[in-house]
Amino acid sequence: MRRVLLVAALLCCGSGALAAQAGVSGTVVDASTGFPLEGVWVGVDTLEAGVLSGPEGKFVYDGPPSVDGTLLARRIGYVTVRVDAVDGMRIEMTPNVEQLDGIDVSAEAAAVEARARRAQSTAFLDSEAIDRVQDQTLGGTIERVPGVAVIQYGPSIAKPVVRGLHSQRVVVSNDGVRQEGQQWGGEHAPEIDVFGADRIEIVRGPGAVEHGSDAMGGVVRIEPARLTRTAGWSGEVATHAFANNLQGAASMGLENGALDLPLLGTVSSRFRVTARRAGDATAPGFNLDNTGFSEFSVSGTLGWIGDRRRTEVTLSRYDTQLGLFSGAHVGNFDDLQRVIERGPRPTDFAYEIDNPRQEVTHDRVMVRHQALLDDGREVELSYAFQLNRRREFDNHGPLANRDVPAFGLDLYTHSVEGSYGVDHGDGTMRFGVSGMRQGNISVGKGYLIPQYRLYTGGAWVRDEHSFGAVTVNAGVRADYRWQRVFPPPDRGLDLELTTDTWADLSGGLGATWEFAQGWFVGSYVGRAWRAANVNERFSQGVHHGTAQYELGDATLDKESTTSVDATLRRTGERFRLQLNAFRNVIDGYVYLRPREPVLTIRGAYPAFEYRQSDAFLSGLELDLDVGVGAGIALFGQGSLIRGENRELDEPLYDMPADRMRTGVRWTPESRELRGLSVEASALLVREQDRVPAETVYGLPTEGYQLVDVGLGWSGLEVAGRELDVSLDVTNLLDRSYRDYLSRYRLFVNDPGRDVVLRLRMPLGG
């Protein structure tokens, strides 16, 4: 007898000696009513492609054979079952009262199926995977995904870079709402509580029309857990401890599917509170002064869930204080030279967060209504208000004003979205409209970007159509953008009231062909565009922490990209592969170019100005996982990217260095060790020598190698409770290295060895 335990995805596990025959057919029925069930996912396991049962509950499974001769049947609202695969089989499914309504059923089934057939290159982390890799920040959590890198300021600020692009070129969508934070610099990271993420999807490359026109690099989509309908309180407590910066983090999630509230009636509810405190990070033998940070977030969702309609209201606040490495905080060019030459001065570990620092809060109110109409049609409407407040505290200037921010920005965003989906039998078609009103207010004397008013409107349509083994995805989107920029009342700034409008089309077309069982080949052509942003057009000031003077250019036009992407994908239990190749042709790529220093009363600053130039980006991504028997799997994840300025014939600044992670994972097959997973991997990063000339920031970084080991146990029974526990050691050998995208790399090494302990315990239920 043989047991195959899949830590990542499996809910249950069956036994049997025979392999399932190709071409097993059967019927799925509701065990309580005997009625046939449509839309039940049938497959070997959730990592493989499966089939969906048809209108009469019938299915024909011709996917990859199962090792133990069983098939899994899943549908939201029913208990997942595993049954022996016999031709003509009848699968009875028991309704799960804890589960959800029709909207989730169609969404989940479609999502599982669509993922394997999507022409666009996509990576997906489910809740188990997130638990296993969850880091201090969103960026750190998705860093291992091929094609993703992070720009980092120590451990606290990690900005995701997808296919070499970041900031406004990567859309972060949180619970269906585009995150509107302040992405004016590398030191501005997304304001999201990673504990609240249940699923994360990373779409690489442009062309995901429902998220806006400007996702030139890609989309990071974060989804929270779905609302429960089970009455009574249940939840979880999760705690993380990080040895490197003596960080503690704890998060508690609670839910109650039938909460009686005055005036509001009986509602489904979900609440989460997260707190985090970190001290200085430590590079090998060196304390990174003032790199501590803290976070506090709360969120609550109430939902009115009917069989065919649901309304959700979510309120959330994310509050963080981030210290910036004091050794990198210099006054002018002479100071910068001094620090680089003699290195920063040694300090002792502290939790205290001193200047320079950032205080950021992000508040969100979101209301969404979904209704399931007849014939598989569905309507969704949502409204969101977001308020992002950012305060940056400088270490310079008169002492009496240390508690007055050097500059502050308040970003107010109202957005509405509406979409209509229809299941046309061979797939789904969806139409949508969206609108946004945004106001940016400056607070404080320092100037970074001007105040502005922004209106955007867009309409899109997207279709997925299956022709047997071939699935075609297509989408098109039209956008209009109106922006008025107000000159600051301050002295000396060369700025006038300007109003601009932009309009253009974006979209994509692609197809996937399942040329053999579990083997897919796909290609996608995507187009995206982006209006030059206020910081690119109107920046006039110093970015502290880098002593870098940035000057905008008000005449910058929009940039646009056309990307061709090819994917080879193998889904399966023992052999999984995703190989992507892409080429991005960018017209009018906006970037920072060095210019003569700017002289101020504080001395000279190295200066950069925003320019536009045509560019190429091309690259390869590999994600491979091969089982070699005895529960041992080998894996490899690699990214390679090349950025080229087509006009100047030189490399683009800020491209991630080539990297490859290879490792081995052991998930023991014995019953006693069920849920255990042990992993060791090595990360090899090549030197980044493809850098533009003439800038101190273009200094190449050397290659480095890191070894990581980890051990995780999900469902470990302790005192009658099932715990998820993991212990990871990153940079096991405590190597000194500097990543090219680390913004402190001119001054200090990146953080050294870290030991991370994660614990998750269910409550109630």
Which one among 13, 79, 252, 313 touches other proteins, defined by CB under 8 A?
Answer: 313
- Contact between 646 and other proteins per CB under 8 A: no
Q: How far is the CB of 604 from other proteins (least distance, A)?
A: 8
- Contact between 260 and other proteins per CB under 8 A: no
Q: Closer to other proteins by CB, 139 or 552: give it.
A: 552
**Buried-state track 153-178, b at ≥16 Cβ within 10 A, e below 16:** bbbbbbbbbbbbbbbbbbbbbbbbbb
Q: Which two tokens stand for residue 27?
A: 């019927």
Give me the residue label for tokens 């806006």.
212
Which one among 300, 331, 636, 698 touches other proteins, defined by CB under 8 A?
Answer: 331
- Contact between 350 and other proteins per CB under 8 A: no
**Helix, strand or coil for residue 2?**
coil
Euclidean distance between CA atoms 519 and 538, whole angstroms:
49
Which one among 453, 465, 583, 686 touches other proteins, defined by CB under 8 A?
Answer: 453
- Contact between 177 and other proteins per CB under 8 A: no
- Contact between 120 and other proteins per CB under 8 A: no
- Contact between 443 and other proteins per CB under 8 A: yes
H helices present in 404-539, as ranges: 534-538
Greatest alpha-carbon span in the chain: 84
Which one among 516, 599, 733, 757 touches other proteins, defined by CB under 8 A?
Answer: 599
**Helix, strand or coil for residue 90?**
strand
- Contact between 349 and other proteins per CB under 8 A: no
Euclidean distance between CA atoms 457 and 534, whole angstroms:
18
Which one among 184, 286, 447, 704 touches other proteins, defined by CB under 8 A?
Answer: 447
* Residues in region 126-145 near other proteins by CB under 8 A: none
Nearest to 289 by CA among 342, 207, 241, 346: 346
| Segment near other proteins (CB under 8 A); pick from 204-212, 359-367, 555-563, 644-652 | 359-367
Q: How far is the CB of 435 from other proteins (least distance, A)?
A: 15
- Contact between 598 and other proteins per CB under 8 A: yes
Nearest to 286 by CA among 330, 325, 331: 325
- Contact between 369 and other proteins per CB under 8 A: yes
| Segment near other proteins (CB under 8 A); pick from 161-169, 600-608, 631-639, 652-660 | 600-608
The residues that bridge with 589 in the sheet, in sequence order, are: 613
Omega before residue 651 within 30° of 0, cis = no
The residues that bridge with 365 in the sheet, in sequence order, are: 315, 385
Binding mask 204-243 for other proteins (x = CB under 8 A): ----------------------------------------
**DSSP assignment string, 464-501:** EEEETTEEEEEEEEEEEEEEEEEPPSSSS-----EEEE
- Contact between 315 and other proteins per CB under 8 A: yes
- Contact between 12 and other proteins per CB under 8 A: no
* Residues in region 603-642 near other proteins by CB under 8 A: 603-604
Give me the residue label for tokens 């989940």.
108
| Segment near other proteins (CB under 8 A); pick from 161-169, 258-266, 280-288, 561-569 | 258-266
First to last CA, the chain: 33
**Helix, strand or coil for residue 539?**
coil
Task: Judge contact between 101 and 310, C-beta under 8 A.
Answer: yes
- Contact between 493 and other proteins per CB under 8 A: yes
- Contact between 540 and other proteins per CB under 8 A: yes
Which one among 311, 498, 523, 736 touches other proteins, defined by CB under 8 A?
Answer: 311
User: Would residue 555 be called left, alpha or beta, if left means φ above 0 and alpha means ψ between -120 and 50 degrees?
Assistant: alpha
| Size of site (CB under 8 A) for other proteins | 78
* Residues in region 399-438 near other proteins by CB under 8 A: 399-401, 404-406, 410, 412, 414, 438
- Contact between 707 and other proteins per CB under 8 A: no
Euclidean distance between CA atoms 663 and 677, whole angstroms:
13
* Residues in region 271-300 near other proteins by CB under 8 A: 289
**Cβ neighbours, 10 Å, residue 187:** 21
Which one among 339, 472, 683, 691 touches other proteins, defined by CB under 8 A?
Answer: 339
Give me the residue label for tokens 């979101």.
366
Which one among 492, 672, 693, 720 touches other proteins, defined by CB under 8 A?
Answer: 492
- Contact between 451 and other proteins per CB under 8 A: yes
- Contact between 338 and other proteins per CB under 8 A: yes
Q: Which two tokens stand for residue 68?
A: 């133990």
